[in-house]
Amino acid sequence: MCLFRDMMSYFPEEVLEHVFDFLTSHRDRNAVSLVCKSWYSLERFSREKVFIGNCYAVNPERLIARFPRVRSLTLKGKPHFADFNLVPHDWGGDVYPWIEAMTKNGINLEELRLKRMLVSDESLELLAKSFPNFKSLVLVSCEGFTTDGLAAIASNCRFLRELDLQENEVDDRKGHWLSCFPDSCTSLVSLNFACLKGEVNVAALERLVARCHNLRSLRVNHAVPLEALQKILVKAPQINDLGTGSFVHDPDSETSKKMKNTLENCKSVRSLSGFLDVNPHCLPAVYPICTDLTSLNLSYAPGIYSNELIKLICHCKKLERLWILDTIGDKGLGAVASTCKELQELRVFPSDLYGADNAAAVTEEGLVSISAGCPKLNSLLYFCQQMTNAALITVAKNCPNFIRFRLCTLNPVIPDAVTNLPLDEGFGAIVQSCKGLKRLSVSGRLTDQVFLYIGMYAEQLEMLSIAFAGDSDKGMLYVLNGCKKLKKLEIRDSPFGNAALLSDMGKYETMRSLWMSSCEVTYGACKTLAEKMPTLNVEIINEGEDQVEASSSPDARHRVEKMYLYRTLVGPRRDAPDFVWTL
């Protein structure tokens, strides 16, 4: 042992640093930093990419203190259920303090990736003006900014390579942010503004694309019509990821013919999305690029009938990822199963969210066909009308490689459509068969039994989403005791209470976060947990009908409507709004 230690200290730092360069995953780097003090020190000075899964687990000062050479930062803010309107808008997750702190400390930031954060125009302006080497901005499900903020980025980031906006709520200020890219900007590799609602200066876009010879990914918004896109694509035949805007035209027109020819020339396109408005008769224009397509997203395309989707998909034999609406139907999924033998990821979204006619939907049949035809399937998000245990058991047998399995029955408590039993056995089969399962969302009528299966078999499970399921605290206990690698647990409308919450308080230090809403936990239990575990922030969101006067301290037996707890190194957050209480 002594000899080993001496040998290690003979390794010059440069050699170790060089070895660490090959460690790209942040988990590997975290592991390496725990080996010994000198490795910790070496690692922290050489780390350039930092991933922070919960922005409140640390603070900007600690980030900068530990990783002074950070160049790329990924931050996530609101809890996942914020996506479904369960978290009020001004809950928190503001990126400004992070940008400010990095500016003040001379961080050479090149890349910023944010998810579910609050991003103001002020933040974007500060970002754009403070980091001369800034190259990449990726915003997913963020809000709080307008096109003015984008104009600041376009104007000031001289070496911008990537501007990727995914599903953000952006206020359109009718300015010409696209025109703000100076003529000297030729560095763009990826530009995605599909989520913007307003007009863009199409001529400016055309010029921008023409001078950015390295452009590989372009996703435009609804306001870019087909004629304009065709002209743009002529200037960018090297593109490999295309997101169309509005794909509407007379299919017999000159423009449509030109589009087909132009697309034939774009031989590198591997990923296709958009069709935010579409005339299905124009779809044949894309057939030429279908043969090599590996990723297809038609989940925002309204009004394409199943048979038209089938015709398109029949050309896509190399597809690995497919995002589609349930208008495809079970029959359409059968066609996918026969055609797309390389399929790895499938997402089927509901087309009808407002309770109107229910003709279009998929059932267990579609899923079974897919599992039989696509053995490489490892990631699923499936919104369906109904499900059966038998189907899930078959799927589990056909596809043992699932890493992500998210099933969502449109009626959250629907039992097996044939036997009327709960869907426990079906999900049980999934967790038993898929030994590598990392993420699971369950739905339908479920008892404690399914959680027993999950606890017993889902050894690699990191994230679990539960809604309207279970009968008693036992359910939650099975999961907490069984899933050793659990990082995120989110539960809504399930009868889990204090006994489950408090049984193993230390468990939450091994997890990133726990969300419980409309469950049976009480104020008193949350307070107890907060008192016993100073390394956790236990937050109660107090709003709506459940609102209790701030002055009066609620009764210990008062049921808590929304609780969010997470481990943290920096204590209660100082930016919590009035309705968020940290206990």
Partner 1 sequence: MVDCVKKMGFEETELRLGLPNANYGKRGFSETVDLKLNLSSAEIGLDSAIDLKENNFNKEKNLLPSSSPTDSVKPPAKAQVVGWPPVRSFRKNVMAVQKRTDSDEAEKGTGGAAFVKVSMDGAPYLRKVDLKMYKTYKELSDALGKMFSSFTIGKCDSQGMMDFMSESKLMDLLNSSDYVPTYEDKDGDWMLVGDVPWEMFVGSCKRLRIMKGTEAKGLAPKAMDKCKTRS
d(CA 503, CA 162): 47
* Residues 266-285 contacting partner 1, CB under 8 A: 276-277, 279, 281
Smallest distance, Å, CB 448 to partner 1? Answer: 7
Cβ count within 10 A of residue 182: 12
What character string, x for contact with partner 1 (CB under 8 A) and - otherwise, covers 324-363?
Answer: -------------------------xxxxxxx-xx-----
Smallest distance, Å, CB 561 to partner 1? Answer: 11
Q: Select 8 or 418, whichever has its Cβ closest to partner 1.
A: 418
Candidate segments 63-71, 204-212, 225-233, 411-419, binder of partner 1 by CB under 8 A: 411-419
* 309 makes contact with partner 1 (CB under 8 A): no
Candidate segments 33-41, 145-153, 226-234, 557-565, binder of partner 1 by CB under 8 A: 557-565
Q: Select 402 or 496, whichever has its Cβ closest to partner 1.
A: 496
Smallest distance, Å, CB 322 to partner 1? Answer: 16
Which tokens is 166 given?
């995914």
Which tokens is 230 given?
């065709």
* Residues 194-223 contacting partner 1, CB under 8 A: 195
Q: Select 24 or 358, whichever has its Cβ closest to partner 1.
A: 358
Which tokens is 151 given?
């104009």
* Residues 244-263 contacting partner 1, CB under 8 A: 249-252
What character string, x for contact with partner 1 (CB under 8 A) and - otherwise, covers 522-541?
Answer: x-------------------
Q: Select 100 or 143, whichever has its Cβ closest to partner 1.
A: 143
d(CA 270, CA 216): 10
Considering only CA atoms, which of 286, 269, 406, 395 is closest in space to residue 348?
A: 406
Q: Which of 13, 17, 83, 264 binds partner 1 (CB under 8 A)?
A: 83
Cβ count within 10 A of residue 112: 25
Give residues with Cβ within 8 angstroms of 574, minimum separation 6. none
Cβ count within 10 A of residue 286: 22
Cβ count within 10 A of residue 139: 27
* Residues 94-123 contacting partner 1, CB under 8 A: none
Q: Select 46 or 141, whichever has its Cβ closest to partner 1.
A: 141
d(CA 557, CA 497): 11
Q: Compute how many residues bind partner 1; rule: CB under 8 A.
A: 74
DSSP 37-103: HHHHHHHHHH--EEEESSTTTS-HHHHHHH-TT--EEEEE-S-GGGGGT-S-GGG--BSHHHHHHHH
Q: Select 372 or 421, whichever has its Cβ closest to partner 1.
A: 421
Q: Select 180 or 272, whichever has its Cβ closest to partner 1.
A: 272
* 24 makes contact with partner 1 (CB under 8 A): no
Contact 317, 343 (CB under 8 A): no
Which tokens is 195 given?
């989520």
Smallest distance, Å, CB 377 to partner 1? Answer: 21
Candidate segments 237-245, 262-270, 455-463, 553-561, binder of partner 1 by CB under 8 A: 553-561
Smallest distance, Å, CB 7 to partner 1? Answer: 53
- Please report which residue ranges of 95-223 form alpha helices under DSSP H: 96-104, 121-130, 147-156, 202-211
Angle between helices 424-433 and 389-398 (to 10 degrees): 10
Which tokens is 63 given?
């980030």
Q: Which of 300, 382, 457, 564 binds partner 1 (CB under 8 A)?
A: 300
* Residues 29-68 contacting partner 1, CB under 8 A: none
Smallest distance, Å, CB 228 to partner 1? Answer: 18
Which tokens is 388 given?
């059966």
Q: Select 414 or 533, whichever has its Cβ closest to partner 1.
A: 414
What character string, x for contact with partner 1 (CB under 8 A) and - otherwise, covers 479-518?
Answer: -------------xxxx--xx------------------x
What character string, x for contact with partner 1 (CB under 8 A) and - otherwise, covers 419-458?
Answer: xxxx------------------x---x-xx----------
Q: Select 229 or 361, whichever has its Cβ closest to partner 1.
A: 361
Which tokens is 556 given?
């210990």
Smallest distance, Å, CB 380 to partner 1? Answer: 15
Contact 49, 75 (CB under 8 A): no
Q: Which of 302, 436, 571, 577 binds partner 1 (CB under 8 A)?
A: 302
Smallest distance, Å, CB 183 to partner 1? Answer: 33
Q: Select 160 or 328, whichever has its Cβ closest to partner 1.
A: 328
* 86 makes contact with partner 1 (CB under 8 A): yes
Q: Is the dihedral of CA 24, 30, 35, 36 positive or negative?
A: positive
d(CA 458, CA 351): 31
d(CA 94, CA 80): 16
Residue whose token pair is 């936990």: 521
Q: Select 251 or 400, whichever has its Cβ closest to partner 1.
A: 251
Cβ count within 10 A of residue 274: 24
Q: Which of 31, 291, 555, 569 binds partner 1 (CB under 8 A)?
A: 555
Q: Select 151 or 196, whichever has its Cβ closest to partner 1.
A: 196
d(CA 483, CA 460): 7
* Residues 129-168 contacting partner 1, CB under 8 A: 141, 167-168
In this structure, which long-range contacts are made by residues 472-475, counting pairs with CB atoms below 8 Å and at least 24 apart in sequence? 472/448, 472/496, 473/497, 473/499, 473/500, 473/503, 474/448, 474/500, 475/447, 475/448, 475/450, 475/451, 475/500
Contact 80, 104 (CB under 8 A): no
Considering only CA atoms, which of 549, 490, 536 is closest in space to residue 86?
A: 490
Smallest distance, Å, CB 474 to partner 1? Answer: 5
Phi-psi sector, 296: left (phi>0), alpha (psi -120 to 50), beta: beta
Q: Select 24 or 85, whichever has its Cβ closest to partner 1.
A: 85
Q: Select 150 or 160, whichever has its Cβ closest to partner 1.
A: 150
* Residues 382-401 contacting partner 1, CB under 8 A: 383, 385-386
Continuous segment of H or E residues that includes residue 367: helix 364-373
Residue whose token pair is 């048979």: 307
Q: What are the backbone angles phi and psi of residue 82, rounded to the nearest 5°?
A: -65, -25
Smallest distance, Å, CB 248 to partner 1? Answer: 9
Q: Select 327 or 339, whichever has its Cβ closest to partner 1.
A: 327
